[in-house]
Amino acid sequence: MTFNIDNKIRLFITVEQRLYRDAVLFDLVNQKDIDIVGESSTGVETLSLLDMSAPSTLIIEENLKDMDGLTIAEAALLKIPSLVVILLVDDAISQNRLAIYLDSGIKSVVSKKQSLQDLNKSLNYTRNGHVYIDGERYRNESERLKSQVWKVENFSTELFQLLSEREQEVAKYIADHIPLKRIAEELGVSHKTVHTYKERILIKLGFERLPELVVYMKRLHFYSLQEGVCQ
Amino acid sequence: MNDREELPKVLYRFDYAEDREIFVEAFQGYFELLICKTDEDAKLMLEKYGAHISALVIDQEVIDSSLSSLCKSVHPKILSIQLHRDIALDAIVSLLDSGLTDKCFAKPYDANIIRSEIFTAALGVDDNRLIPLTVDGADKTFSVLIVDDEKIATKFLSKQLQHLGCPCHILVAANAEEALVIIEEQKSNLAMIISDHRMPGITGNQLLSEVQKYCPHIIRMLTSAYEEVDIALNAVNEGRIYRYIKKPWNAEEINSIIKLSLFEFKSRLKKAREQELNLQQQYQLILDERKLNIEKNLTEVVNKFGGEGGLEFFYACLNQISPLPPGKASLRASLETDIETRLVLDFSNKVKQRLLPLKDKLLPTSSETVLALIRKLCESDIEATQHMLSEAVCSMYLDVEILVCLQQLLMSSGLDFRSMALLDEGHESVLKLKVGTDLSLYRHILSAHTQVSEQMLQQQCELLILLLICRKLDLDIAIEGSAQSFQLSIKLPNACT
């Protein structure tokens, strides 16, 4: 038994496609409570590296070239029963399938069609070894559609309109990668005030980190251009 | 949860309209909410829907709800949740003691966690891992470990417990580090651990969290002299603790808690063994039927290719290898999905397709060609190997197909021909894996499965074909199995025959 006093997630990730693995790693590597301890593109290699890397969490793709991810996950759990396994599947799975995965010791299942935020949620909720099911995946179809429509409508205009004029201005600067200090100079306010604007923007838009805001602003810009063309 | 349309039913009992609004906002659409303002209405719902209800949520500022009591006695599998605005430590202690509530959340609650708990309950997934079968002997004297930095108090309690005829050996540790060493040494004898929360260094809560991860079968209890409601609630909701004992300790009370916990531990042990036995028996029936169906589909075609006994030879080789053991997941997959039909049909079809072109291949008159090819393959990288094999499959001779089978088996283990060696032993050469190298085999056609994977089917098919070709060519092939892996060697004649 090794003591994980800081309760950091020691993460091993097994994803076959390099680009996809990099994208996930680049998002996770900056998180203070996550240590990336290993990566692999194949199942057999993952198993051979487990002893050395001693991960607390394994994110593993369902379809690997040498063996399926579920079998590898079960073999990994036989080696390290305390391992938290998050299975990445190509598409949403049925509830029956989910029950089988969870019975086999998988703690959470995330579809590749979900966002990085969802993967982060699963990582966070399972860190102490508990099962986490993202209810959104199994929500009543009509309710889910309603919420999707809501999201799309707000994506174009309403969500951004929740921000004050000043906050919108700051969001645009941030999206252009202007440092907070320079934004403060441009707006003639203190650095602390700009920092407060940034925090408020993130809260109002429901984001946790700056890259989410930057991507949102890029999409908003692109969407506005499209609307302009349509008009 | 059966179909997407059928949402899990949640029985919700509330007192205040504002609580109800918040709850409905957070859970509507995810569950079918059976909302009740009175216990009478809730009891009617419980009677009407019974075990079809996945969770009972009590959103009242009460601890001893007659509704939870009724629910647990009639339908113990229904998840019982309490939501509280303010909850005192005493209330948490009595909630744990009564065993009527599974989870208790303080407001404002995290709806994600509650949804996940309800979905987990609705799927019938048991988050508690089984007791390892290494913990043996229901009649032996188990131990209790008491962890507290107040050494004098622990010593005094230990003596009092002995005096009171405590049914367990008493072990003590002055801190979490010492406790971990004892747990590591004594884990097959340890039934429970009672840890103080506030200790220098690692806290009791952290210690129990680690014990939960590594030895989930050990019953865990937290003690504290302080009103740490958050710690206690969190520990309860994460299933970390069985009891919360308030300090100062009362030896008689602790002795009766130990007796109760020991009874619980032994019941869990017994239940785990019964479940294991039941699972083995059920799975054996499934395997017998699967074997019969495979034989129905393949015996004729296999015998036609290589003579009688081909499948039996394959089974005998598989039986030497220990695959991943059956579990609740594989049993559920076999009973509730089409996995058994697919395993038999997909495997049989694959073997038939693979055998079809082989029946026209010629038996070799010399093994020189194949030996030369093996020597080249053992020194080539993956690309060159693939190139050579794609040319070799056009060969008219059957023995070259051995290499195609081996290539697939090596690939399934993340290896290639460079992991094999061809040893000249006079009149014959032995093709075998290099020292320290194994072929992986996590599941085989006669083992437990949680899904049918193309990779597994391919691996199994190539192993069967390899064995059949070797039998047909009268080549000596040996398989030595171990846990989820095996060693393989094939003897090939050197001289012309």
Task: Give the relative orientation of helices B310-318 and B251-306 as an angle to the nearest 10 degrees.
Answer: 150
* B152 pLDDT above the threshold of 60: yes
State whether A103 and B329 contact (CB < 8 Å): yes
Give me the percent of chain B exceeding a pLDDT of 90.
62
Q: Of A192, A177, A229, A81, nearest to B187 (Cα)?
A: A81
State whether B184 and A1 contact (CB < 8 Å): yes
3-state secondary structure of B221: strand
State whether A81 and B337 contact (CB < 8 Å): no
A93/B contact by beta carbon, under 8 A = no
Pairwise CA distance, residues B203 & B220, whole Å: 14
pLDDT on residue B215: 85
Read off the tokens for B30.
């995810």
Tell me the nearest-neighbour CA distance from B374 into chain A, angstroms: 23
Contacts of B450 in chain A (CB under 8 A): 70-71, 74, 100-101, 104
Pairwise CA distance, residues B73 & B75, whole Å: 6
CATH level 3 topology of A141-230: Rossmann fold (3.40.50)
pLDDT on residue B272: 84
pLDDT for B467-493, tens place per residue?
A: 999 999 899 999 999 999 999 999 988
Tell me the nearest-neighbour CA distance from A135 into chain B, angstroms: 6
Domain coordinates in residue numbering, chain B: 9-122, 143-273, 307-493
B112/A contact by beta carbon, under 8 A = yes
CATH of B9-122, one of 3.40.50.150, 3.40.50.2300, 3.40.30.10, 3.30.460.80: 3.40.50.2300
Give the A window 145-204 contacts with B, CB below 8 Å.
none
- Residues A33, A18: contact at Cβ < 8 Å? no
Cα distances (angstroms) measured from residue B115 to each of A55, A186, B193: 28, 46, 31
DSSP-derived secondary structure letter, B217: T
Of A159 and A160, which is predicted with more confidence? A160
Read off the tokens for A69.
């991810």
pLDDT on residue B134: 56
- pTM score of the predicted model: 0.84
pLDDT on residue A152: 41
Which of B238, B330, B413 has the CB atom closest to A130's CB atom?
B238
pLDDT for B56-78, tens place per residue?
A: 999 998 887 889 999 989 999 99
Q: What are the respective helix, strand and coil percentages of chain A, to the nearest 5?
A: 60, 15, 30
Task: Examine domains A9-138 and A141-230 and report if their fold is the same.
Answer: yes
Average per-residue pLDDT for chain B? 89
Interface confidence: ipTM more than 0.90: no
Residues in a beta bridge with B244: B222
B441/A contact by beta carbon, under 8 A = no
State whether A105 and B329 contact (CB < 8 Å): yes
Neighbours of B281 (CB within 10 A): 9
Tracing tokens 């063994």 back to the chain, one arrives at: B273
Of B263 and A128, which is predicted with more confidence? B263
Contacts of A104 in chain B (CB under 8 A): 327-330, 450
Neighbours of A185 (CB within 10 A): 13
Most B CBs within 10 Å, among A80, A102, A117, to test the B interface: A102
* A150 pLDDT above the threshold of 50: no
Which chain A residue is nearest to residue B187, measuring alpha carbons?
A1
CATH level 3 topology of A9-138: Rossmann fold (3.40.50)
Q: Is the dihedral of CA A125, A127, A128, A132 positive or negative?
A: positive
Pairwise CA distance, residues A86 & B327, whole Å: 19
**Using 50, 70 and 90 to split pLDDT, how confident is the model at B91?**
confident
Size of interface A-B (CB pairs under 8 A): 153
Which chain A residue is nearest to residue B3, measuring alpha carbons?
A95
- Residues B82, B95: contact at Cβ < 8 Å? yes
State whether B29 and A101 contact (CB < 8 Å): no
Pairwise CA distance, residues B37 & B215, whole Å: 42
Pairwise CA distance, residues B27 & B23, whole Å: 6
3-state secondary structure of B197: coil
Secondary-structure class of domain B143-273 per CATH = alpha beta
Question: How far apart are the two ends of chain A, measured CA to CA in Å?
Answer: 64
Which chain A residue is nearest to residue B181, measuring alpha carbons?
A1
- Residues B492, B370: contact at Cβ < 8 Å? yes
* B449 pLDDT above the threshold of 80: yes
Span B89-98, mean pLDDT? 84
Domain coordinates in residue numbering, chain A: 9-138, 141-230
Amino acid in position B87: I
Span B21-35, mean pLDDT? 93
